[in-house]
Amino acid sequence: MADVETFGKALEYAPSRESTAIVSIKPRYDLFIGGKFVEPKSGTRFTTINPATEEPLAEVAEAGPEDVDRAVKAARKAFPKWSGLPASERAKVVYRIARLLQERAREFAVLETLDGGKPIKESRDVDVPLAAAHFFYYAGWADKLEWAFANRRPRAIGVVGQVIPWNFPLLMAAWKLAPALATGNTVVLKPAETTPLTALLLAEVLQEAEVPPGVVNIVTGAGATGSALVSHPGVDKVAFTGSTGVGRAIQVALAGTGKRLTLELGGKAANIVFEDAAIDQAVEGIINGIFFNQGHVCCAGSRLLVQESVQDLVLDKLRRRMETLRVGDPLDKNTDVGAINSAAQLDRISELVDAGTAEGGEVWQPTCPVPDKGFWFLPTLISNVAQSHRVVREEIFGPVLSVLTFRTPEEAIAKANNTAYGLSAGVWTEKGSKMLMVANQLKAGVVWSNTFNQFDPSSPFGGFKESGFGREGGIHGLEPYVELEPIK
């Protein structure tokens, strides 16, 4: 046995670092308004950094109210012509965006990893291909809208203000832009202040795809920029993905304005493992559910509900699997868990784990070295916790898994639903009847069966309760971007 263990330890992965030569990062980036890059009227800029090294990447323009106003006016000016184009012509433009994303996929993947800290294999194999797939999917709908809504005639809303988060910068831009453009709207997009670079590279793709000037405008900045966009009287509809606290503030600000609003907010998903589940498969699903993208996922399976009879078996296998996770350089193709996106987010994760320990939770982490520089947090398992603990109730948005147990399906359902959130859930069992019974009673927008974190452009995504309202993806993702008139 000792020889086997020694042999296993000798099988180390050789470094396989992705080259950054394909990416040319400019020292300074301007705003993208009216089809071209323009200097900010605000005169202010901020620095975006690589979270894996803490080294600066570029200076980025910070849009002030005057800049946001310019962007909204450019979108308003472009709206009549864009919405009036034959739908087949809009489809061609959206399709070209998808093809160019594919052609420049490696460039986008490397830049996403540099700016956000996520492993290159996730940027390369998930983020970029799925972003292109969304543009392809909605390009197909652009000239078929009359068949999407029975007995109703769709028309574009107007100017859409879109605010996206830092965990999936390119993918969230695609989720927002593709249906808005396919339905004839014009857009002002604000990426997160810590991850603006792929949105600005996307602006170059929009130029290359010959998107008419003003149809898509990109304004970079922090919370003040987003607030100026959301509250601008020239915006007809707001789409926001981010924290529940900010989403709640947006809803209050828009109350009574008549603006359309969709919110995709936080989550505290339950991953439920029954005793009859395929345990090894479930363990892989648990790992993917919470450690994918460092746990920076709104639908992350951050609460593990495991049936009491198999608790020891599941946790033993889970710890063994966690020992194999490689934490470190996001550009290394062997890396499983990359850098935490920012120092502020690292502090948030650390605070909640400390709170979990103070409330009696037992913290376990694998023995894994991390780099000296950058923002890092080891994959973490917290057991001996209760529903009342902060670490179980609050969204951590990091690689931290809380473990709870249950005895009956009814108890599992009750515990899974005992949360302010309702974005997603996972159920692991070999019995189809049990799967359907549990899934039908879970208050979550998405329920995965014997898998987790599976996405497709044709499938709707969204939440209940404090996880927001509205859907993105599928036919359902078209509806927030159209006015529907009854056909008499």
Count of domains forming the chain: 2
Give the model's pLDDT for residue 480.
Answer: 96
Claim to verify: residue 204 and residue 295 sit in the same structural domain: no
pLDDT, one tens digit per residue, over 265-294 is 999 999 999 999 999 999 999 999 999 999
Give the model's pLDDT for residue 9.
Answer: 56
Q: Would 19 be classed as within a structural domain?
A: no
**DSSP of 104-118, one letter per residue?**
THHHHHHHHHHHH--
Q: State the catalytic residue, choosing from 298, 395, 472, 479.
A: 298
Claim to verify: residue 376 and residue 438 sit in the same structural domain: yes
Claim to verify: residue 482 and residue 418 sit in the same structural domain: no
**Which CATH number do you get for residue 48?**
3.40.605.10
**Which CATH number do you get for residue 282?**
3.40.309.10
Give the model's pLDDT for residue 1.
Answer: 46
- Determine the 3-state secondary structure of 306 from DSSP: strand
Structure tokens at 209: 């795809």
Structure tokens at 103: 């052609």
Side-chain half-sphere of 294: how many Cα atoms within 13 Å?
Answer: 33
Claim to verify: residue 213 and residue 354 sit in the same structural domain: no
Claim to verify: residue 275 and residue 158 sit in the same structural domain: no
Q: Would 15 be classed as within a structural domain?
A: no
**Where do we find the tokens 């831009």?**
173
Q: Would 11 be classed as within a structural domain?
A: no
Claim to verify: residue 219 and residue 332 sit in the same structural domain: no
Claim to verify: residue 307 and residue 437 sit in the same structural domain: yes
Give the model's pLDDT for residue 398.
Answer: 97
Give the residue ranges of the chain where pLDDT is below 70.
1-11
Query: Could you count the other beta carbons within 10 Å of the beta carbon of residue 300?
Result: 32
Q: State the catalytic residue, choosing from 62, 122, 193, 264.
A: 264
Q: Would 356 be classed as within a structural domain?
A: yes
pLDDT, one tens digit per residue, over 94-143 is 999 999 999 999 999 999 999 999 999 999 999 999 999 999 999 999 99
Structure tokens at 140: 């197909």
Buried b (16+ CB within 10 A) or exposed e, 136-146: bbbbebbbebe
Do strands 260-264 and 186-190 pair parallel, antiparallel, or not at all (unpaired)? unpaired
Claim to verify: residue 345 and residue 409 sit in the same structural domain: yes
Of residues 162, 204, 174, 211, the one with CA closest to residue 37: 204
Q: Would 243 be classed as within a structural domain?
A: yes
Instruction: Find the radius of gyration of the CA atoms of the chain.
Output: 23
**Is 298 labeled as catalytic in the residue annotation?**
yes
**Is 264 labeled as catalytic in the residue annotation?**
yes
Claim to verify: residue 447 and residue 474 sit in the same structural domain: no
- Determine the 3-state secondary structure of 187 from DSSP: strand
Q: Would 104 be classed as within a structural domain?
A: yes
Claim to verify: residue 170 and residue 284 sit in the same structural domain: no
Claim to verify: residue 282 and residue 184 sit in the same structural domain: no
pTM for the complete prediction?
A: 0.95
229: Cα separation from own chain's centroid: 21
- Residues near 184 by Cβ (< 8 Å), separated by ≥ 6? 82, 83, 84, 85, 87, 90, 155, 156
Q: Would 122 be classed as within a structural domain?
A: yes
- Cα gap 421→418, rounded to integer Å: 9
- Give the chain's length: 488
Q: Would 18 be classed as within a structural domain?
A: no
- Cα gap 361→381, rounded to integer Å: 10
Domain of residue 164 covers 28-265+466-486
Claim to verify: residue 222 and residue 315 sit in the same structural domain: no
